[in-house]
Every structure is written in C-alpha cells, then in structure tokens.
Homo-oligomer: A and B are copies of this chain.
Amino acid sequence: MTEQHLAQNTENSLESPTLARRTFDSIKSDIINGQLAQGTKIVESDLALKYGISRGPLREAIHRLEQIKLIVRIPHAGSRVITLDTKMMEDIYTARESLEGMAARLAARLMPEAEILALSELLDQHEASISETEGKAYFQREGDIDFHFRIAMASRNQWILENLNGELYQLIRMCRHQSGQFPARAQTALDQHRQIAAAVERRDEELAEILMRRHISGAWEIVKKILEDQND
C-alpha cells in the first residue's frame, strides 16, 4: 500500500510542487472512488504514516478536504470522511442547478464561436461513443462532466467555475461512484446537451438557462430514485 502511494507521489511530483498538495490529491481520489469509505474516522498519525509524510502537510491536506466538504471536522474531536445522505445531495444538485443555469446563460452571451464549434464536435464524439458497444459507462460519465465543464469555462466567471469544479462536481462524482452503475440515460442526456448547445449558438440566454436547469433537475430526479431505492 505504501508503494502505490509512493508511485502516485512521484507521478504527481511534477504537477504539484508541494507535499501537502499532492497528499490532498491522493486522499481526494481515495475518498471519491471509495477506497476510504464514507464515515471513516480519520486519525492524523495513522494517515501520515500511510502516506509516508509528517503530520504537518497532512493536516493542511485535511483542512483543504474539509473546505471542499469531503471531510467533516470537529475541533479536538477529529475528522471523518463525509457520509452522503439524500438531503445533502439534493442541496448540492439544487445549488448546481442554479449555478450552472447561470453559467449557461453567460455562455450564450460570451462563448466564442470557435469554442462553440469545439463543443459541437465534443458532442459528436459522445454520439459515436454511445453507438459503440456499451461498457463505456465510465467514458460517458466523464464525457458528461466534460460538457458541463466547458459550459462552466465559457461563463468566464471564475467564482462559478471554481465552485463547480472544486466542490460540486467532486461530490457528484463520489455519489455516482458509490451508487454503482446508472441506467442508460446517455442518449437522453446527449439530446439535452445538444439542445443546450444549440441555444448557446443562437445566443438565446434565457433558453440556455432554462434548458440547463431542466437538464440538471431531471438528472436529480433519477439520482434521487436510486438513492431512495438503496435505503431499503
């Protein structure tokens, strides 16, 4: 277990100049893909040993993880990996609906033609990947996030971009991972993405926002059902 983390560290050592940052990345992916289960108690000395570093940088990593809400922390009492419940996910999807709706509006106003073209090509790729023999569930997920990421980028709004990327998408990724495979909604999602892209291309801010909000609240309805079915 130590070896894999060492490998990961040396692998990331180019992109993250600081030890705390690299550890943050490591723990983050460990949480997102479930290697650190929800509700796990975090003991600083144990984790420091596991990742082969001292408590100082580990502490910094934990604090950053707390800020993006992957870890819950109580002074003097310790910290645990977050446990996703339905209410929290609803809050997150609602906030995302609001923020990404605005992002779509801004994208319709500001996105350069070249980027719109590239977005359209991305959707073509997705179309192709759906036609291929399935099993590309993972690819579809990342493709979905990719589309939403580009809209967020196009908003040219730093605050919205950072919060979607840094916090909301992470939690949604985690939720998806824990909930296992999702139903084959890929075609529906792609159609909606196309409509949104079309609205952006027509510079129809109002429509772009409305469609994005519908798209996300629709996604939430499905996630919600899955979460509720799991609680049986």
Chain A residues with CB under 8 Å of chain B are: 17-18, 21, 56, 59-60, 63-64, 67, 69, 75-76, 88, 91-92, 94-95, 97-99, 101-102, 106, 157-160, 163
CB–CB A94/B18 < 8 A: no
Residues on B with beta carbons closer than 8 Å to the beta carbon of A99? 95, 98-99
CB–CB A92/B60 < 8 A: no
Residues on B with beta carbons closer than 8 Å to the beta carbon of A92? 159
Residues on B with beta carbons closer than 8 Å to the beta carbon of A17? 75-76
CB–CB B88/A106 < 8 A: no
**Nearest chain B residue, comparing its CB with the CB of A17:** B75
**Nearest chain B residue, comparing its CB with the CB of A21:** B75
CA distance A157 to B98 in the complex (A): 12
Residue A159 contacts which of B56, B63, B91 (CB distance < 8 angstroms)? B91
CB–CB B160/A75 < 8 A: no
CB–CB A95/B159 < 8 A: yes
Q: Min CB distance, A24 to chain B, in Å?
A: 11
Residues on B with beta carbons closer than 8 Å to the beta carbon of A98? 98-99, 101-102, 160
Please give 8 more A-B residue pairs, beta carbons under 8 A apart, in addition to A17-B76, A18-B76, A94-B157: A63-B63, A91-B157, A91-B160, A95-B160, A95-B163, A98-B102, A99-B99, A163-B163
**Nearest chain B residue, comparing its CB with the CB of A16:** B75
**Nearest chain B residue, comparing its CB with the CB of A68:** B67
Residues on B with beta carbons closer than 8 Å to the beta carbon of A157? 91, 94-95
Known contacts A21-B75, A63-B63; is A102 also within 8 Å of B97 by CB?
yes
A sample of 19 cross-chain residue pairs with beta-carbon separation below 8 angstroms, ordered by A number, consists of A17-B75, A17-B76, A18-B75, A59-B60, A60-B60, A63-B64, A64-B67, A67-B67, A88-B158, A91-B158, A91-B160, A92-B159, A94-B102, A94-B157, A95-B99, A95-B102, A95-B157, A95-B163, A98-B160
